[in-house]
Each structure stands twice: as structure tokens, then as C-alpha cells.
Structure 1
Amino acid sequence: MPPSTRTPGSILRSQGPLLDVRNLSVTFPGHLAVRDISFHIDHGETLALVGESGCGKSATSFALMRLLPRGTAVAGEVNFNGIDLFRTDARALRNIRGKRIGLILQEPMTSLNPVRTIGDQIAEGLVRHEKLTWTQARTRTAELLDLVRIPDAARRYDDYPHNMSGGMRQRVMIAMAVSCNPQLVIADEPTTALDVTLQSEVLELLDSLRRQLQMALLLITHDLGVVAQWADRVAVMYAGRIVEQAAAHDLFERPVHPYSQGLMRATLRLDDGTHYSNARLSEIPGSVASAAGEQGCAFAPRCSQATEACYHAPPALVPFRDRLVACRVAVEPSEEPFRAVVGR
């Protein structure tokens, strides 16, 4: 997939970030899932949060919505358009969820209620947040189903989730997420359960709605092809930390962090926009290690460029040229030659 050529969202950029996350950490019982991450999302833009399964992407999304299970410890600050989501009361938070922040989960069959019609599930949010009557909400729901390109929308109101295909169910989830014209939609692996053709259709729909409704999008994915085509900016996660942040085009043109470079080498790409490159794909050696007792860079055991210093303390995410990078080797080049330490 070639680097994105889409125009970045620019709505209300002068007002500052819509979402500003600072030093977010999430700890499940016995497991530190997210470690001290910071990022922001501007009005109208798409930020992709990308990384391997288990790196903390979904834990981040649920933390932002305060939907983590009991017993989970969360630290840091999450400011949404002037509101501190971690310190606002439960009632105010319920009014933000669904109305100002929408959420799309990766498996609609387990997210939708199997014994309620899809129409009632969408209309419920309109009745609660928009104060519509059920009759008004039914009319608006039909409009939303049409907006997400479900054929014969009015008739599908009374369908149950099992009456619909996977692609149609995901469109229902999108309709629910955008029903109250939110400022931000969080899409957590929205195409994982879909085939390639439907993935493209759903992502094109999301991007169209982003522009039409003037909303921002946090797109959580492990698919670099998705990132290349649909993201304005990218935050790459590894073992609970963000290791690189850059504009999507810049990341694909010049990945700086060794992990980002490894992801690119393991991804099938187009060499001229029409033909796949003949370059051999290479895997990242080793496997993601547990973060328990982490002393240095979590990627060091898999990194061919690591030096002894990489094992002493986690590197900070710091400005480097046109991006942010957490890598001593990249931002503080040494005269000492790189030493392969894979398998150390």
C-alpha cells in the first residue's frame, strides 16, 4: 500500500488539540499494559495507533473511555476539549460517551445485543442523548442506516444482528458511533473480522463520515496498509510504550525507530503505485517480551542496533527531526559500532 496522499483534517486546528493524553499508564492485576504514553489528536484528523497484538492499543482506547474492568489502575491525564475525563464525575462521563465520543469495536457480533433489533439499539442512544421520542428516533435511525450505506434502510430497522452479514453489522456499529454527531470516534480494529473487500469499504465509509461530520478519528490497528491509506499521523506502540510518532507519509518514507523499520520490512508494499515490490519480506527476530521488571528499552532484545546503554533505562520519547522517537541509537548516535544483541 503506498503512503497516504489524502488531505489531513484541518477543521478548527487553531483551537488546539481535541484530545490531549499525557503520561497515561494502565495496570491490570499483575500486568502493566500501558506505560506512560502521551499523544494528541487534532480536530478533524485521523491518528492511527499501530502495533502488534498485546502492545496496549485496546487498553489505551478503553482507558480513554473509562471502560476498564474493576481492579485496573489508571494514571495520567486525558483532556477532551477542555474536560479532564479522569476526574469528571460518572454522570457527566455518561453524557460524553456516545454523544461526544463514539466507539466502534472490532467484533460487532459480540458488541450488539442479539435479542434486540439493530434499530432499537441505535435509537436508544438518540432517545437518551438527543432527547428524541422513540418515533423521532426511529425516523432518524433509518436516516443513519442510509448514511452508512445499508440498502433498504427503513426496512432493516427491525432486523436482528444475526439477520445481517459481518459487513452490515459493522456498518450498524458505525451508525451507532456517529448517531449523535460526536467530535471524536475511537475505532478499535474496526475491520479485523471482515474480508479484504469489506475492509476497504468500511474504511472508506469511516473516512467519508469523518469529513462529512467534521469529526476526529482514533484508528487502532495492526495493519500498516490501513495506516498508509487512511491516517494523517501515526503513533507506533511496542510493549505498552509509544516508540515513534510521525506524519503517516513521513513514517512510511523514513521510519526511524528500529521497530518501525522492522514493521516496514515485514510489510508488502507497492513499488510504483501499481505493482508489488519484489523485495524480500523479513521478520522481526524474537518475540515480544514481558514488561515485568523492565529495565531498559523493551525492544533491545530484538534489535540488531542495540548497545549496552539500551539495557539500562527506557528511552524517552523526544523530538527528532520531523517526529518523536524513543531510541537512543537513533537520536544520540555514538561512535561505538552497533552490536547485534538478539537472543542476549
Structure 2
Amino acid sequence: MSHLQEKHPVLELIDLDVGFPSAQIVKRVNLRIEEGEKVALVGESGCGKSLTAFSILRLLPPGASINGGQVIFDGQDLAAISPYQLRRIRGKGIALILQEPMTSLNPVLPIGQQIAENILQHEDVTRKQAEERTIELLDMVGIVNARGRYGMFPHNFSGGMRQRVMIAMAIACDPQLLIADEPTTALDVTIQAQVMDLLEDLCSKLNMAMLLITHDLGAVAQWADRIAVMYAGRIVEEAPVGTFFSGPRHPYSRGLLNSSIGNGWHYSNRRLTEIVGSVQSAAGETGCSFAPRCPIAMHECRAAPPELGGTNDEWSVACYRDPLAVAAK
């Protein structure tokens, strides 16, 4: 995607390390997101996707901390700035959509008031102006009779409508980056497609970048521009979506694709294959985390983890057996 190279990065993760006192979970993650770009971070449950996303805004669970690296946004290292400075960025420069809207919305406050409060927090407007802006946002995300529903409570809305409310709240202050953490998990299939179409349309209209956290390869194939595959806290492959689904290079990426019903782009009647074994403990890791499960692992794989590399900036892979990655070194 040569046109992306002409844009400026909205976010850069540089050698990001996140973990708990007992184990390092996210390990030396490097990721760059350009203006208006939709990047998907994929991998099985527990691989560190959400922890990586939450570390951007330092919304980490108790005991977790950023142990190294940088989170560069708008020329600032979010890992190093003060809590006050970070609060000015949360909801304004970077917005977050979580998996389950019912647990993210306050059940005893009208949805309109919750969105308006976010606007009042970050913008120099009156309460009446914030209310009118909220009604515009609800209409923008497809809430019918937005003015009449301004004073309704979360329990008055279906799951899909609550997710639309969360999207309205997220885009209220025109963020440069939207982090969507499994935004369609709790929704049925038809509503999932509607929500993702809405996010894609908003990204285009607002020139907003999006980091999509998901394990749904079908959604990635349809809505993302670029994919980063994570395994055991490390990014093992990164590529444009079309290039990736034409033939992933890392053994784990191939395993993910072969174990999915859609096989990336098209549904088929083939027999699904499993990735044998299980994820090894993060404690005491020495080599490639995938080596115990990898069908092509060799001695070098167990000695030290391979670095993410490739022959160009668009496609990179962390594998000693990948000829293009080896040739680039």
C-alpha cells in the first residue's frame, strides 16, 4: 500500500514491554498506525492483544505495568507523561470501545447525558451545545429518533444499539485513533456486520485511524487494511491484509488460517486442522514461543526468539525458517 507511506503515523509502539511481577506478557512489540489506517491485531485468547491495547492509554489491570519501550502519540510518549496529561488524551485524541457495552455504560444515567459529559470534559462548549452535539452523534451512528432517545437508559436499548451508543461516545471529540477491543463479540452475526460497516464508514469520513483487536479473521479480511499477528506476547507477522491472506509466512499464521472456517477470504468444505499443543508458560522463556508447537522448528528456534524482519516495510515475519526474513538480515 504505497499510499500509506505518504501519511504520518498516528501511533507508534516502540519495543513495548508490559507485564506483571511474575511474568512478562507483552514483549518488545513494535507497531505503527498511519492516519486513517485500520490495523487489526489478531491472535488466540490470552496472547496479549488487549493488554497491548490497554497499555496505550495506561488502562492496565492491577499489578500490570509498562516495563519498557515507548508509546508515541502526537509527539508524546504516553508511557512517560503525567496522569493529568494522559486524561486530556483519553477520549479526545484516543478513544476506546470495549467488548460489552452494557458493562461500559452507567446503568443509572441516561445515555445522552453520558455522551454529553465526555464532550463537556474535553471541549469548551455549553451544556446545551453538548446536548445538541450528542443528538447529532446519535443520529450519525444510526439511532432512530435520536432526540427522543437522548434521555433513555442503557436497558432501553438492544445490544447492537448500545454498541452504537458506545461508538457515538467514542467519536464525540473527533479522536485521531479509535481502539476497538472485540467490538462485536456480544452481538449476533447480522448486527456484527452493521457495526463494522459503521466503524469503517466513520473512519473514512473522519480520517480516523483504528486499532481493531479481534480473533475474527473474516472481519479482518473484510474491514482491515493491515494485520499484525500476535503469539504469546510477540508480534510474529505483519502485512497488508490482501498480501497476508494470499499466503501467510509464519507457521502460527498459517495455523490460524487453516483452523478457521473461512480460510481468510472464502468459505470452503475442507477439513479444519488444529494447532497442536498449547501455549507455553511466559516464565523462563528462552527461544521462539511457538517452537514447541511448530512443525518446522529447529535447534536455533529454541535458543533465542527471532526478531521481526522482512525484505520491505510492508511485510515482516519473526521466523528463522522464513527465507525472506533471513535474507533481509
TM-score tier (shorter): over 0.9
CA–CA distance in 2 between the matches of 1:81 and 1:155?
38
C-alpha deviation, 1:95, in angstroms: 1.0
Identify the match of residue 217 of structure 1 among 210, 214, 221: 210
Q: Is the 8 A contact 2:44 2:231 kept in 1?
A: yes
CA drift of 1:29 comes to 3.5
Q: Pick one of 264, 275, 278 that aligns with 1:287.
A: 278
TM-score normalized by the length of structure 1: 0.90
CA contact (8 A) 1:37 1:242 kept: yes
Partner of 2:132: 139
Q: Which residue of 1 aligns with 2:201?
A: 208
- Kept in 2, the 8 Å contact 1:300–1:310? The answer is yes
Residue by residue over 1:210-254, the C-alpha shift from the partner in whole angstroms, topping out at 9 and shown as x without a partner, is 001111000010100011001111100000000000000111001
Q: Which of 14, 26, 41 is equivalent to 1:49?
A: 41
Q: State the SS of the aligned residue for 2:248.
A: coil
Q: Map 1:35-74 to 2 at 5 A.
A: 35-74=27-66
> Cα deviation per residue 1:54-88 (whole Å; 9 max; x = unaligned)?
00000011100111134322121011121211122
Q: Please provide the CA RMSD for this pair.
A: 1.9
Does structure 2 conserve the Cα–Cα contact (< 8 Å) formed by 1:9 and 1:232?
no
TM-superposition CA deviations, 1:176-200 (whole Å, max 9, x none):
1100011110000100111110110
- Deviations 1:157-176 (CA, angstroms, capped at 9, x unpaired): 11111111110111111001
Instruction: Provide, for residues 76-130 of structure 1, a one-character-per-residue CA deviation record: whole Å limited to 9, x for no partner.
Output: 1011121211122222211111011110001111111111111111000111111
**Distance in 2 between the 1:14 and 1:330 partners?**
29
Q: How does 1:293-332 map to 2 (within 5 A)?
A: 293-320=284-311, 323-331=315-323
Aligned partners of 2:189, 2:309: CA distance in 1, in Å?
A: 36
3-state secondary structure, aligned to 1:37: strand
Q: 1:333 to 1:157 in 2, by over 3 A?
A: closer
Count of aligned positions: 324
Residue type at the aligned position of 1:199: Q
Q: Is the 8 A contact 1:243 1:327 kept in 2?
A: yes
* Aligned equivalent of 1:115: 108
For residues 120 and 13 of structure 2, the distance between their equivalents in structure 1, rounded to whole angstroms, comes to 31
CA shift in 2, pair 1:149/1:288, >3 Å: same
Q: Is the 8 A contact 1:297 1:315 kept in 2?
A: yes
Residue 340 of structure 1 is matched in structure 2 by none
Relative to structure 1, the CA distance from residue 234 to residue 110 in structure 2 (aligned partners, 3 Å threshold; closer, same or farther) is same
Q: Which runs of 5+ in 2 are unaligned?
A: none
| 1:17 equivalenced with 2:9 (yes/no) | yes
2:92 is aligned to 99
**Contact 2:16–2:69 (Cα < 8 Å) also in 1:** yes
Q: Quick one: structure 1 residues 15 and 226, their matched pair in 2 at CA, closer, same or farther if it must change by over 3 Å? A: closer
Alignment of 1:241-252 (within 5 A): 241-252=234-245
Match of 2:149 among 136, 148, 156: 156
Percent of aligned positions with the same letter in both sequences? 56
- 5+ unaligned residues in a row in structure 1: which ranges? 1-7, 335-344
1:127-146 per-position Cα deviation (integer Å, ceiling 9, x unaligned): 11112221111111111000
State the 1:9 CA deviation.
11
- Secondary structure of the 2:9 match is coil
* Contact 1:320–1:331, Cα closer than 8 Å, also in 2: no
CA distance in structure 2 between the aligned counterparts of 1:90 and 1:32, rounded to whole angstroms: 23
